[in-house]
Amino acid sequence: MLLTPPLVLMANAALRGRGLETLPFAVAVAVGLTPEMLPVIVTTALARGAATLARTHEVIVKRLPALHDLGAVDVVCVDKTGTLTQDRPVLDCALDASGAEDPDVLRWAAANSMWTIQLAEVPAADALDEALLDAAEQRLPDGLDALEHDPVAALPFDPVRRLSTAVIRTPDRLGSHTLIVKGAVEEVLERCALGAGERSRITALAAARADDGLRVLAVALGERPARTRAYTTADERGLTFVGLVGLRDATAETAAAALTALARSGVEVKVLTGDHPGTAARACRELGLPPGEVVTADRTEGLTDADLAELAARTTVFARCTPEQKARIVRVLRERGHVTGFLGDGVNDLPALRASDVGICPRDAVDVARETADVVLAAKDLTSLDHAIAAGRRSGGTIAGYLRITLSSNFGNVIAMLTAGLLLPFLPMLPAQVLVQNLCFDAAQLAFAYDRQDPAALRRPLRLRPREVLRFVTGFGLLNAAADLATFAVLAWAVRAGSDAEGQASFHTGWFTENLLTQALVMLLLRTGRGRRGPVPLAASALAAAGLLLPLTPVGAALGMASLPVVYYPLVGVVLALYAGGLGWCGRGHR
């Protein structure tokens, strides 16, 4: 826009001796070359996508450009808990000392949970206790009735000793109390009367289950004479080992399908979690996401950013991550050329939310996370994220399609205007005609904001690469300019458009009509949407009709247009057919 008007002025002044009288034409050309509808198309496409997400999937886009960024995302970093898994554990196994399934182990563990909660008056039940009680109700023959004992006392869980103890009257034995102790494996074993070999074997059994992704608790019993004085932690000695209970995180119901959909869309998922490596790997395997080699974050401490980027590119799961380590991994992925999204909900996720291209959080995230995030999901659910990415690709595809079409058309007009200024002894089009032509094309382009995208375009991340756009614009612009030059030949030889007023009016009208017809073809053949119906085909038809009929109306006469001889239409039809063939051939090559 900035270069063409001076070139037009200089060319006309140097070769045709025309001076400032060409200034209105040069200004009109500058206006015609400007993609005036870009802000309208961008805002409308993004706003429609955001409104659809809010209405149908309860996804709130707080920053409109973030929707376009979502369309370009090719890596999504997520935490495990609450995203791949639910915020609750479930029982996986209850094993005796030999490693065999034993329902009595579950019964004693659940009894500890029940009476600890009730007697210790715990404000809120621990998730592990709730999981054990749920499992007892479902798996034991009598359900929770099997846990009905005569309770005596309880010592609640203590994070220092990592144990909880419930005391009941020993079933079928008068004058005796039974201590039910449940907690961390090493703490319980330390209080059991076991030999070194037996202790090592049980420790190895628990470690194997932990490496398999389970949270393992040990259960032990102790029998004491009945008494009235209070029980203390000193009584948790000389216990008899009963068994182990293993709990795993329940996978989110929609996570497996969402991961499959993201992979099908070309989006890679990275799991950044503070959990145990085995726990994270197990959750990924259950959901069909191959964890590969799980990397603990301490391995990344001594790596340079370049080395960490290489490691992050081939690693799916990072475990034992601190907030700063999560943010660094996200940052190096961006520096490697990935467009990254990060899904988090806590204060510790703020560094990674800020480091990502698109910060995403669920609706129930902490306030500061919702303020920082660009996109808020109705739930911490990857399915909603997949819908948001698809909406971003639809909006981004609309914007990219508009840019390619309008820039290639404008580039072709630049070449045609400069060539006409060099070859013709008169202006190739009157300024008012240039502006009306531009107005018609702009009005028709509004339809792009409402076009439906080809489903194939939604299967991969949307990346608007300048080099590709430049090649596209150059190729189609030259093709458009060739059609214009062919039209010049038609007008000069067949229609006899000369230097007199009538001949100039014919030239102006013929080029005006051909320009609108070629632009209508460009809209139809280069659009990213598909289908014979829709707003774009209708708008292109209206644009072609305007090019054919406007010169025949009083408005055309007021703009200095004249009716064209019949021979013009079949000749320009041949030009347009060749042009359409070139568009189709180049379009297939581009796709």
H-helix or E-strand spanning residue 359: strand 358-362
* Residue 351: per-residue pLDDT: 92
- 244 and 296 housed in the same domain: no
Nearest 5 degrees, angle CA 71-CA 86-CA 116?
A: 160
* Residue 298: per-residue pLDDT: 84
Strand 215-225 and strand 240-251: pairing?
A: antiparallel
- Specify whether the CB–CB gap between 451 and 529 falls below 8 A: yes
461 in any annotated domain: yes
Number of helices (H), then strands (E), belonging to the chain: the values are: 21, 14
- Show Cβ contacts of residue 370 under 8 Å, excluding neighbours closer than 6 positions: 361, 363, 376
Cα 447 from Cα 48, distance rounded (Å): 13
- 148 and 237 housed in the same domain: yes
Amino acid letter, 578: L
- 36 and 137 housed in the same domain: no
* Residue 18: per-residue pLDDT: 66
- 299 and 413 housed in the same domain: no
The CATH number of the domain where 134 resides is what?
Answer: 3.40.1110.10
Is 79 marked active-site? yes
Amino acid letter, 461: P
* Annotated catalytic residue, options 74, 79, 92, 129: 79
| Location of structure tokens 């703490």 | 187
525 in any annotated domain: yes
- 245 and 257 housed in the same domain: no
- 93 and 215 housed in the same domain: yes
195: left (phi over 0), alpha (psi -120 to 50) or beta: beta
| φ/ψ (deg, to 5) at 247 | -120, 145
* Residue 359: per-residue pLDDT: 93
* Residue 449: per-residue pLDDT: 83
Strand 75-78 and strand 340-343: pairing?
A: parallel
- 258 and 243 housed in the same domain: no
The CATH number of the domain where 404 resides is what?
Answer: 1.20.1110.10
Instruction: Give the residue numbers spanning the domain of 517.
Output: 4-51+389-590
- 227 and 285 housed in the same domain: no
Strand 85-96 and strand 151-158: pairing?
A: unpaired
The CATH number of the domain where 313 resides is what?
Answer: 3.40.50.1000
- 101 and 247 housed in the same domain: yes
| Location of structure tokens 């932690």 | 233
- 420 and 556 housed in the same domain: yes
Strand 163-169 and strand 151-158: pairing?
A: antiparallel
Of 251, 281, 315, at which residue does a domain stop? 251
67 in any annotated domain: no
150 in any annotated domain: yes
Cα 357 from Cα 342, distance rounded (Å): 8
* Tally of domains in the chain: 3
* Residue 341: per-residue pLDDT: 93
How confident is the chain (591 residues) per 10-residue block, as mean pLDDT?
74 68 75 81 90 89 91 90 79 92 93 88 77 91 84 88 91 87 94 92 92 90 90 92 92 85 90 85 88 87 89 91 91 92 87 93 86 86 85 87 83 78 76 87 86 73 80 83 83 65 84 88 74 78 93 91 85 86 64 49
Measure the N-to-C terminal CA separation of the chain; round to a whole number of Å: 28
Of 343, 377, 411, at which residue does a domain stop? 377
Question: Between the CA of residue 319 and those of 271, 296, 544, 573, what are the distances in Å?
Answer: 8, 5, 60, 66
**Whole-prediction pTM:** 0.76
Long-range pairs of 539-544 with CB within 8 A, sequence gap ≥ 24: 539/443, 539/444, 539/445, 539/446, 539/447, 540/444, 540/447, 542/444, 543/440, 543/441, 543/444, 543/516, 543/519, 544/516, 544/517, 544/520
- 224 and 272 housed in the same domain: no
Nearest 5 degrees, angle CA 429-CA 434-CA 436?
A: 130
- 264 and 239 housed in the same domain: no
Amino acid letter, 295: V
* Residue 15: per-residue pLDDT: 65
Cα 572 from Cα 579, distance rounded (Å): 10
